[in-house]
Chains A and B, each alone.
Chain A
Amino acid sequence: MTMVPAIGRELSNPPSDGISNLRFSNSSDHLLVSSWDKSVRLYDANADLLRGEFKHGGAVLDCCFHDDSSGFSVCADYKVRRIDFNAGKEDVLGTHDKPVRCVEYSYAAGQVITGSWDKTIKCWDPRGASGMERTQIGTYQQPERVNSLSLVGNRLVVATAGRHVNIYDLRNMSQPEQRRESSLKYQTRCVRCYPNGSGYALSSVEGRVSMEFFDLSEAAQAKKYAFKCHRKSEDGRDIVYPVNAIAFHPIYGTFASGGCDGFVNIWDGNNKKRLYQYSKYPTSIAALSFSRDGGLLAIASSYTFEEGDKPHEPDTIFVRSVNEIEVKPKPKVSRLVCGIVATVVAQRRL
């Protein structure tokens, strides 16, 4: 265990190829990591322990927890799997017609939702008998290849190629509740819902994040905005990096973004402020995840193939403990009050 206080503790036994995603469990500090090396790994982030490794037939493009003893993974071999960590057993929930890009588990609906490059999303019932198609609940056509999914409550946001965004109600999947086009002009990289369920953040390959709201009323839509990030000015030129990952803090609702520039930034979306920037990581940030209480932030520093096949830094996972000051929003008003109090106190001392 090497202690690098500036960027966090590096986990031993990292994947041997690119990290496609990582996620903290909802009930412990276990970390599930999917990788291009065709495997899913389960770490105990606190103990820096590799608790399990599960090999698949193709690059694993996404994974998520079911409960502490099982999870789901989706794979470039078109299969959706459920992994039982304790038994080390996996069963195939079903298959798509193309590689499966992303997976989410809805605790509200008890369903697994997968998005694939076959231009569909599918819902699965993980409790179903492991008979191949018996677990499948439905297939829903998308306008383009699905690149990112996010869930909050009963809302499902699907971001596809061609900058389409479809918003569904899990209780009525027959057609999207809303069909939108991304507010950003370039390819969508990642979409994540706000923990309070009022909207979602969407990032693009062109160093920009847009903040959107589900409510279609004018008042709500007036609040939406987009901001630039993960850019570098060099000789008066802007170098723009893709924003690969967004992760919301479960308690404060602030969020972290990770880009191909190797930086992780913490933002306060409500006050339109950047709260913190962590020091640079060795290579692109491929994925981010806060632990259930927001006390830990897992960072996958792993080359995301933005410049094709080229030599790159080794793939690593960092786990850093998050200081409250880094993620707590600083409302302007309270700061004003603080300021006043401070000046009063200062005056009295004088």
Chain B
Amino acid sequence: MASIQKDPILQVETTCGSLLYELQIIWDEVGETETDRDKMLLELERECLEVYRRKVDQANRCRAQLRQAIADAEAELATICSAMGERPVHIRQSDQSVGSLKQELGTILPELEEMQKRKIERRNQFVVVLEEIDSIANDIKGQGEHVHSKPLIDETDLSMRKLEELHCQLQALQKEKSDRVEMIRNHLCTLYSHCSVLGMDFNEVVGQVNPTLSDPEGPRSLSDHTIEKLGAAVQKLREVKIQRMQRLQDLATTMLELWNLMDTPIEEQQEYQHITCNIAASEHEITEANSLSEEFIKYVEAEVVRLDAVKTSKMKELVLKKRSELEDICRKTHLLPVSDSAIDQTIAAIESGIVDATMVLEHLEQHISKIKEEALSRKEILERVEKWLSACDEESWLEEYNRDDNRYNAGRGAHLTLKRAEKARNLVNKLPGMVEALASKTIVWEQEKGIEFLYDGIRLLSMLEEYNLLRQEREEEHRRQRDQKKLQGQLIAEQEALYGSKPSPSKPLGGKKAPRMSTGGATNRRLSLGAGMHQTPKPNKKADHRQNDGALSNGRRGLDIAGLPTRKQSMNPSELLQSPLVRKPFSPIPTTVVASKANIATTTQQHLKHNAVNEMSSFATPVKNNNNNNILRNLEEEKMMTMMMQTPKNVAAMIPVPSTPATISVPMHTAPTPFTTNARSMSMSEKPEVLEYSFEERRLAFMLQSECGLV
């Protein structure tokens, strides 16, 4: 019982029992019916039951919440653990039932808390790494400004493995960054060296690539783009460098060549030694500052140009020297020198730079050697020619001497002349043989060479032939003179017989007085050959020129040709007119064209007619017009004309009139009606058959015609 008493429930039960008892007493007292009492008790019982149920429900709910909390904590713990990549500690325990739920919760909560703390720590680690990665990636990607966005963290994976991964990534990036920095540094170094070599402003070049690069302090852009541009800039400068280097080397080569050519003294070379020593250097060997700058190249170029100019002038001198040498040889060997104009042209060409002087020089050299060779082959004959010519000189002197009737008059030096005459006579006797031999030699030579032997541009054989002819002539004359003398002698004798007087000796009347060239030593051999030869060389020479000298300048040839039409024109103008060249612009030319008509007219009569036409075409002189027509027309007609002239109709004359104005235009002018519009329209109606030309067309026709006449 004691246990029951101690039990609060029992106490409650007692309290309930006592209360029930009290209630029964009250009911008894009240006299409550049994049914009411039952009813009341039932209600009481039901209310109690309800209170119980509520409590039980509450407890039940509390338990469920607890379980839920535990489950939640466990779940969170599990996610954190899984995120952190750790085996959950708690799950093992949960398998064994450990005490009550509250205990369980009590154990799990601190665990969870710790896990959460660890997770936050881990997360922070991630953030740090990711931020770093981001910033480096940004640097590399080259977005100008850092965008400080919170890096996105994958909350489900915060494992150490992942962290390590990220670390690796970070390291890789850091390496890349340092690589890039190194690369940029390298590029900048190269760029700097290139710039210094090329004499360019480094900062400007770099600034063009990326402005951050030229800033020594601030962060430099590391992006691909920058590197690419930098690389391109380096490449470009390198190309420029190579290009300039090649140019410089070209210049240096030229310079060396020029030095070589002109034997430039060492002192003069010294100044440019540092350039020429780089002649074979490769691109990376040239590092000296400004050694490839624009100014430097210009400076070298100027020197080369100067040297070149010196060379050209020297070359020209050389060409001229060679030319004079050539001329000299030609003169000595009596060859025709190369035409002056051709050489002048080549010199002009050298000056203007069209032709390389060396080529000309070579050409000249060749020419000289050729001529020398030729001269050698000509030597023998030339010697003979020389002899022959001197013999000829003597001969003509002798001739002269013989003609002098006072030759035997004693005077100073007479004995010398006598001696000379004797020698000359001897020589002259040998002359025919000499000529013969020379001719045969020449013929052999010509046959051998297949060309004509020219002596100062004249065929030697023709010279010889001519000489022979001349000689024959002379001999004939001699004979005649002798006969005459004989005759004269007879006459004198007769006269003497008659008058007893004697005429003083005089020079023969008939003989031509030849110039005494031979006595003074001939300067021009050709002239010395005698008067008879004078006129022949010229046409010959001209013909030879045409045939042989193909290099004759156009201008000269043009002139030659130009000579022909001029002559022709004076002979037959109408022929000229018919040449298609003149007519072309206005073909077909009707016979009415006034201007051309003028030239066709050959007879005086036609000319007169034409004059009339010409005058008719002039407006300002209608009066004169009349006068001219007078020649052609009778008085009656003239009257008509005067009438017409007063009217503007005279203009009709202005428009070319049919070719024979005397016949065709007359009916037009003598229209029976005086000046009326009708008359005018009549004249108009006739006109369309005739082509009317404007002043300009006629002027052009005239111009072309006169131009043709000139050419």
Contact = CB atoms under 8 A, between A and B. Distances in A.
B685 to A, nearest CB: 11
A240 B648 contact: yes
A273 B699 CA distance: 34
A161 B694 contact: yes
B651 interface: yes
A305 B698 contact: yes
Given A98-B585, A186-B651, A238-B648, A59 B703 contact: yes
A307 interface: yes
B694 A187 contact: yes
B695 A305 contact: yes
Interface string B610-645: 000010011111110000000000000000000001
B697 interface: yes
B655 A240 contact: no
Given A185-B684, A205-B654, A308-B595, A240 B619 contact: yes
B647 interface: yes
A101 B651 contact: no
A100 B646 CA distance: 36
Contact of A99 (B585, B623, B681, B684): B585
A147 interface: yes
A59 B704 CA distance: 10
B205 to A, nearest CB: 36
A309 interface: yes
Interface in A227-262: 234, 236-242, 260-261
A202 interface: no
Interface in A167-222: 185-187, 189, 205-207
Given A185-B680, A237-B645, A240-B651, A20 B617 contact: no
Dominant secondary structure at the B interface? helix
A268 to B, nearest CB: 24
Contacts of A145: 694, 697
A237 B617 contact: no
Nearest to B614: A308
Contacts of B614: 307-308
Interface in B691-711: 692-700, 702-703, 706
A314 interface: no
B454 interface: no
Contacts of A189: 694
A61 interface: yes
Contacts of A15: none
Contacts, number: 96
B212 to A, nearest CB: 47
A261 B654 CA distance: 15
B697 A308 contact: no
Interface in A291-327: 304-309
B594 interface: yes
Contact of B620 (A205, A206, A260): A260
A306 B703 contact: no
B214 to A, nearest CB: 43
A308 B594 contact: yes
B647 A101 contact: no
Interface string A255-285: 0000011000000000000000000000000
A18 interface: yes
A249 B540 CA distance: 69
Given A161-B694, A185-B680, A260-B619, A240 B650 contact: yes
Nearest to B642: A237
How many interface residues does chain B have, given as a range? 35 or more
A239 B622 contact: yes
A290 interface: no
Given A306-B695, A308-B617, A207 B648 contact: yes
A306 B409 CA distance: 81
Given A59-B703, A309-B595, A117 B698 contact: no
Contacts of A240: 619, 648, 650-651
A59 B700 contact: yes
Interface in B666-702: 680-681, 684, 688, 692-700, 702
Contacts of B598: 308
Contacts of B688: 162
A22 interface: no
Interface residues of A, number: 37
A36 interface: yes
Contact of B696 (A186, A305, A307): A305
Contacts of B618: 306-308
Contacts of A161: 692-694
Contacts of B684: 185
A239 to B, nearest CB: 6
Contacts of B681: 185
Contacts of B647: 238
A20 B623 CA distance: 29
Interface in A1-31: 18, 20
A309 B702 contact: yes
Nearest to B700: A76
Contacts of B651: 186, 205-206, 240
B619 A306 contact: yes
Nearest to A76: B700
Given A187-B655, A240-B619, A308 B646 contact: no
Nearest to B654: A205
Given A187-B655, A205-B651, A236 B619 contact: no
Interface in B405-464: none
* Max chain B Cβ within 10 angstroms of own Cβ: one of A189, A238, A241, A304: A238
Nearest to A204: B651
Contacts of B702: 305, 308-309
A145 B695 CA distance: 13
B698 A308 contact: yes
Contacts of B655: 186-187, 205
Contacts of B703: 36, 59, 76
B682 to A, nearest CB: 12
A305 B699 contact: yes
A267 B34 CA distance: 154
Contacts of B595: 308-309
Contacts of B697: 99, 117, 145
* Max chain A Cβ within 10 angstroms of own Cβ: one of B614, B651, B698: B651
B700 A99 contact: yes
A308 B703 CA distance: 11
Nearest to A244: B695
Contacts of A59: 699-700, 703
Contacts of B646: 236-238
Interface of B: 585, 594-595, 598, 614, 617-623, 645-648, 650-651, 654-655, 680-681, 684, 688, 692-700, 702-703, 706
Given A206-B648, A305-B695, A305-B699, 12 more contacts: A101-B696, A147-B694, A162-B692, A185-B680, A187-B655, A206-B654, A238-B648, A239-B622, A306-B654, A307-B619, A308-B598, A309-B702
Which 5 residue pairs of A and B lie closest in terms of their CB atoms, listed nearest first?
A307-B618, A305-B699, A206-B651, A305-B695, A237-B646
15 contacts: A76-B703, A98-B585, A101-B696, A117-B585, A185-B681, A186-B655, A205-B654, A206-B651, A234-B623, A237-B646, A238-B646, A239-B622, A240-B651, A307-B617, A308-B617
